[in-house]
Amino acid sequence: MRRWRRLADGTVLLDGFHALKHAVRFGARVPLALAEDRAAALALAEELAPDLTGTLDGLLREVPRGTLSALVPRPHPTGVAALAVRDDTALPAVRSAPVVVLDDPRHLGNVGAVIRLAAGAGAAGVLTTGTVDPWHPGVVRASAGLHFATCVRRCEPSALPAGPLYALDPEGRDIRGLPLPDDALVAFGSERHGLSDALRERADHLVALPMRVQVSSYNLATSVAMTLYHWMAGRAPEAARGDGA
């Protein structure tokens, strides 16, 4: 059997139980789900996602041990893999939470970690510029399938949605003294080169995270986490819980 390296347009690989769990929980259409030990996968569902046990019982098909190795580049330890229909939902016209913009990111794991953070924080979405596909199987694996819990799209810098643009830059104003509005776009530069000149010039505000002198930078996902927490901390707990639903 050939590997699932070349997926049909609109189809995404869910690599592992947790990716399948989150995709199903947030409404993904899953035409195929495989497990090398179906009973073990359902036991994991009963332990970690009892609300989904019935649904997963109807989805999972057991395959011989070793089959996933022939289909998936790096099978997940849970022995589960699935195909889901990609979700290209657009951002809402009126936003009540910031959009994370990743400016030409290069590391698939970092992009996935940011999407996972954005979903957990209730951000409106994650937009990426550059060549990396934010729906690459490596990104979906790192996000644990939480692409389906928020809007994830690639776009050109010139096509960013409306809203005040806050760009993270070492020369910017300390973010602790500046509240982030709910409709903000929050931009982060690439791991190697930082923020592009085009996005820096377009920014309405340059902001910086507090950091010890002589430390060069934070990890990309850490920077996003700190920024989204700053936004969340400035809101009423009820509002924050509502956006995370």
| pTM score of the predicted model | 0.89
Q: Residue 74's pLDDT is what?
A: 83
| Residue owning tokens 């332990």 | 47
Q: Residue 176's pLDDT is what?
A: 92
Q: Residue 245's pLDDT is what?
A: 36
Rounded Cα gap, residues 140 and 13, in angstroms: 7
Q: Residue 243's pLDDT is what?
A: 44
By C-alpha distance, which of 12, 43, 229, 3 is closest to 139? Answer: 12
pLDDT digits (tens, 9 = 90+) for 110-155: 999 999 999 999 999 999 999 999 999 889 999 999 999 999 999 9
By C-alpha distance, which of 59, 68, 71, 6 is closest to 33? Answer: 59
Q: Residue 239's pLDDT is what?
A: 55
Low pLDDT (below 50) residues in the chain: 1-2, 4-6, 241-245
In CATH, 99-243 is 3.30.1370.160: no
Contacts of 216 (CB under 8 A, 6+ apart): none
Q: Residue 8's pLDDT is what?
A: 61
Q: What burial letters (b/e) apply to 77-116, b meaning 16+ CB within 10 Å? A: ebbbbbbbebbeeebeeebebbbbbbbbbebbebbbbbbb
